[in-house]
Structure 1
Amino acid sequence: MATVDEYLWLEDVGSEEVRQWIEAENRRFREFIGGIAERLYPRLRALYEMPVVYSVALYRGGLYLVSRERGTYVVKRLDFSRGEYEEVLRSEELGENVTISAVSPTPDGGVLGVNYHVSGADESTLLVLDVEAGDRIEVLRGYISPPVWLSRGEFLYTRFYRSGRTPDGVPAPASRVHLHEMGGEDRVVFGEGFETNWMMGLKPLYDRGVVFVTAMHGWSESKIYVARLPGLGEFALLFDGRGSRALPVGYEDGRAYVLYYGENHLGSILEVSEDGSRVVISAEEYPIEGAATHAGRIVVSRLVDGANELYAYSLDGGLEGRLLGDLPPGSLSILGSGWGTLVVRYSSFDTPSRLFVLDEGMKVRFVEGESLDLGLEVEDVWVTSRDGTRVHGFLVKSGRAGRCSGVAVVYGYGGFAIPVKPAFYVNYIPMLEEGAVLVITNLRGGSEYGEEWHRAGWRRNKHRVFEDFEAFLEEMRRRGYRTVATGSSNGGLLVAAVVTRRPELVDVALIGYPLTDMLRFHLLHIGKLWTTEYGDPEDPGDRAYLASYSPYHNVRRGVRYPHVLVYTGLHDDRVHPAHALKFVAKLRDAGAPAYLRVETVSGHMGATPEVRAREAAEVLAFAYRALRLDS
């Protein structure tokens, strides 16, 4: 293994030398794909113009939502008494290449916070609007959360310190809760003393008069604090996860409800009061992914072999029944609860998003969104990993024959306790429509089967995630398919690692916005935050383990590698673009057919629909060209 990093210079993505190198790589990539992307782009652009709801926030008597539709991002308002949507803001009003991620209204709905991003960067701008007057009141910039309103003139928010130190002197990365007076003071009100890698999240329950702060150390440990609204009192410790993950659920009659993964790795709902805590609901076979209190009930979202099922319970834990049970298997996310209203988003392989608004009696009041008639067939697929563990996935096909028949697109992630669920995998629909099959994998490292499933694939267990993914590739090979391995971010690390471990299993690798240098990831952008998940390269034992699979350090000459495309964006301020650049350079040195695509107006948060559709068309075009599907 090389001890000298000959491509360290590619980390300086702002230098003229690196920019020229990127331009040359982009030209080389586009020469390879030829005109194939132009055929694929119109279909992908049409798919990206379909309405998708990203964010919802309730106020007394209505809600606001953020939707991507017709090539832009739109903020809409729904007044329940009128039952009609009113357009409030469009992303192009805020500038070029703008995406909107979240909205947060005051309890009366009159003032609205809007978080937006430029060119897909994580850094956001918080714009405060007086909706009734149409005035833009305040602007705040940084790595900041949506506001939690104390009044129309002041709010709480979290600020993520990426570099340097927090105001109380703790080395970054770390978060603090700030109180901001519009036109006046901005100061830290919570978080002092929390060390590096502790993040903060806010959850207001305006109709219950409380706000929760969840202090999270990585993705496996948290503490929950609570304060009264609207006048902000002291944040008091509500629940200490003591080395395990805990999340606030709701607040009813002086009692808080918490989702806890400590004593039961599948999750339990606890009732927490001054008298202590007690288990109200305990998962037995399948894990609890999320929950909310609503109209004197607890609504629980379970994960059943990768898909969600929604159930209502009494506050004492008695099962009352299943909700939205007539929907095909998919993802069900609780987006908001308050003032007698529950908002749930559904998505699946043929559904970008459907929004269900339920009243106090659990009756559906409003529905937003629709499904496509793609004629998809979905079946469960199980494989056996190297250590004997059974791993679940979804196999999706259209039943059509076409130029992509005999090709299996295999997607994976496997990390950070993030479950991979049925969703609208828009980038792969053109291949599905032309005969390919899509395999969505529930690898260890996610939370599909609880916290033990997560920890079975983190830190020095990371190799198990790779082995799980390899088992799916082996299965599709056994069935006679050519394989396209694909993943992004941590999933990009997954595919890059498998390419260097088992290149014979992959015909084409599509690696998006990846980590690849696992000995320097903690020095680039916010990488130190991920040492809680991957291990710390400064620790000798962790470093040796990371070196054993780090894709950048395991490229070997004389190996027959598949066609590899690595794609990233210059504005990715989460995963440094150098991971992509250096990996391609090293692969090419080894004689691999490796290519690079660098988008100039995208980042880890994404991009505008037009940019996303163009990127997807060119990425798919690479697979078509490498597999000779368009010849």
Structure 2
Amino acid sequence: MGASVSDCHSYVIVVLFDGCEPHNLVWVAELPSVEKGLGSEPLVFKKLVNEFAGRYTYLGNEGSTFYFVTTRDAPRKKIVSIDIHTGQETVIVEQQRSVLSQAALVKNTLLLAYLEDVKDVFYYCRLEDPTLNAIPLPIGTITSFFSDRKKDFVSFKITSFLLPGRSFFLDINDPQSSLRVFKDDTVEGLLVDDFVTEQKFYNSSDGMRIPIFIVYRKGSVSSKSPLLVYGYGGFNISLTPAFSSSRMVFLRDLGGVLAVPNIRGGGEYGEEWHDAGRRVCKQNCFTDFIEGAKFLHRQGYGSPQTTAIMGGSNGGLLVAAVANQAPELFRCVVCQVGVLDMYKFHKFTIGHAWKSDYGDPEKEEDFRVLQQYSPLHNIKSGIKYPAILVVTGDHDDRVVPLHSLKYVATLQHMNPTEGGPFLARIEVAAGHGAGKPTSKILREAGDIYTFIAKNINASWKE
């Protein structure tokens, strides 16, 4: 459950969630006047959205007309208005082809970022005229809009694999000609023109077309190149282009290639893409990732002996599962705070909320699916596994460390002489990742990339 106050400070908006399911309820109550004071009388809530039929995110309101982004009957999202007195819902903007990734309402102007093949495209329109007008921007990801409903301007930031950040200013009275850059984030010594980002597409085993980003230094790619494949594939989360200092060290100083396949389970193509990689369809995530690695090798980007894979949280589940299913494709695996015991994940802290993506182990149908891929329970003896580094924090209260500890212990027990090494890095006084101090982030990144370099024979480039 969450609560906020409307832009006009006249209403309180309460949002009720159902675990991690992609839907919520919305209740709205008018606040008493300042003269009466908060608490002078009980709030009377209007149940604006009272069935779990989609996700609603508040944008703003004009009096009793409220504007939301919603997925109801719109797996790629749309903008609607709802009159809180009549309950009448009206579609303002809906685009069938692309996924709405960001939205802001400034005065009478909607600012919209649509994800088109995993790259943000920027549009605006007026409430009285829903015609979308495009504003050209560099290829990348719009991280967020910063705006005040009552002001005439908005600022926003773009990032990409090779762009640390570029901040823009826009006057909504003249969006086409007022756009200007007011700040560029730079990294001293980084020559981004030395690198290239490609987007390619490959077919998974069932013929589904999967996008993949590939980043590398110009003229440095071969089957001997160190290759790092990063994935997630879950909870409707999109892996869009984003800058990472540690990845740049891998690209620039270790001569590596970075690949990010946008596998099913994420939100890159809306709720249908998410549904195609969760619950009974979860195997699609692993198959997409495996086929992505094969595609990269066929295209001359590295080889199994030079390939490392990495993922965190649900992405940790991903890389651990594919290490079980296709160990011959990878030389190194980095599993960060992974969900690895799929029989008991729901029994600890917030794990019960993940049934939306994984199913319920207490139900036989779901258990049979989990049984097929649970990383902990599918470790086999006598298999030459890749080198595996499991990373966790001793105070992780989201994905509790027992997942990582049982997993690495089982690897070591069942394969004492085959493959490996199987190591665990346990950060003390740290959790799932958010809020970790810079000093710990740097030490962890140093250990991870040292482990990768050692196992795929990547050497430091002067």
Aligned partners of 1:267 and 1:300: how far apart in 2?
A: 11
Q: Any idea what SS the aligned residue of 2:104 has?
A: strand
The answer to whether the 8 A contact 1:477-1:483 is kept is: no
Residue in structure 1 matching 2:48, options 228, 238, 243: 238
Q: Deviations over 1:523-577 (max 9, x none)?
A: 1221111112211111121112111100000000111111111111112111101
Residue in structure 2 matching 1:254, options 52, 58, 64: 64
Q: TM-score, normalised by structure 2?
A: 0.87
1:613 aligns with 2:439: no
The answer to whether the 8 A contact 2:255-2:458 is kept is: no
1:501 aligns with 2:325: yes
Q: Deviations over 1:146-169 (max 9, x none)?
A: xxxxxxxxxxxxxxxxxxxxxxxx
Matched residue, 1:600: 428
Q: Any idea what SS the aligned residue of 1:338 has?
A: coil
The answer to whether the 8 A contact 2:317-2:338 is kept is: yes
1:339 aligns with 2:150: yes
Matched residue, 1:370: 185
Where relative contact order (Cα < 8 A, 6+ residues apart) is larger, the structure is 1
Residue in structure 1 matching 2:315, options 486, 491, 495: 491
Residue in structure 1 matching 2:259, options 429, 439, 454: 439
Query: Aligned in 2, Cα 1:417/1:328: closer, same or farther, shift over 3 Å?
Result: same
The answer to whether the 8 A contact 1:301-1:332 is kept is: no
Matched residue, 2:412: 588
The answer to whether the 8 A contact 2:140-2:159 is kept is: no
Q: How many residues align?
A: 431
Aligned partners of 2:148 and 2:293: how far apart in 1?
A: 41
1:224 aligns with 2:5: no
The answer to whether the 8 A contact 2:226-2:458 is kept is: no
1:285 aligns with 2:86: no
Query: Aligned in 2, Cα 1:331/1:470: closer, same or farther, shift over 3 Å?
Result: farther
Residue in structure 1 matching 2:269, options 427, 449, 473: 449
Q: Any idea what SS the aligned residue of 1:237 has?
A: strand
Aligned partners of 1:504 and 1:286: how far apart in 2?
A: 37
Matched residue, 2:344: 520
Query: Aligned in 2, Cα 1:414/1:230: closer, same or farther, shift over 3 Å?
Result: farther
Matched residue, 2:234: 415
Aligned partners of 1:252 and 1:228: how far apart in 2?
A: 14
Aligned partners of 2:280 and 2:235: how far apart in 1?
A: 14
1:307 aligns with 2:122: no
Query: Structure 2: any 5+ residue segments left out of the alignment?
Result: none
Matched residue, 2:281: 461
Aligned partners of 1:374 and 1:602: how far apart in 2?
A: 33
Q: Any idea what SS the aligned residue of 2:274 has?
A: helix
Moved more, 243-252 or 486-495: 243-252
Aligned partners of 1:585 and 1:497: how far apart in 2?
A: 16
The answer to whether the 8 A contact 2:111-2:123 is kept is: yes
Query: Aligned in 2, Cα 1:366/1:479: closer, same or farther, shift over 3 Å?
Result: closer
1:572 aligns with 2:396: yes
Moved more, 310-319 or 525-534: 310-319
Q: Deviations over 1:294-343 (max 9, x none)?
A: 121111121111121221111145225234x2323333422444331434
The answer to whether the 8 A contact 1:352-1:424 is kept is: yes
Q: Any idea what SS the aligned residue of 1:236 has?
A: strand
The aligned amino acid for 2:54 is: S
Matched residue, 1:161: none
Query: Aligned in 2, Cα 1:366/1:428: closer, same or farther, shift over 3 Å?
Result: closer
Question: How far did 1:462 drift?
Answer: 0.6
Question: How far did 1:202 drift?
Answer: 3.2
Q: Any idea what SS the aligned residue of 1:215 has?
A: strand
Aligned partners of 1:210 and 1:476: how far apart in 2?
A: 53
Superposed CA RMSD: 2.3
Query: Structure 1: any 5+ residue segments left out of the alignment?
Result: 1-199
Query: Aligned in 2, Cα 1:282/1:430: closer, same or farther, shift over 3 Å?
Result: same
Aligned partners of 2:208 and 2:383: how far apart in 1?
A: 29
Matched residue, 2:134: 322
Over the matched positions of the two proteins, sequence identity in percent amounts to 32
Q: Any idea what SS the aligned residue of 1:318 has?
A: strand
Question: How far did 1:211 drift?
Answer: 3.7
The answer to whether the 8 A contact 2:202-2:210 is kept is: yes
Residue in structure 2 matching 1:625, options 441, 454, 460: 454
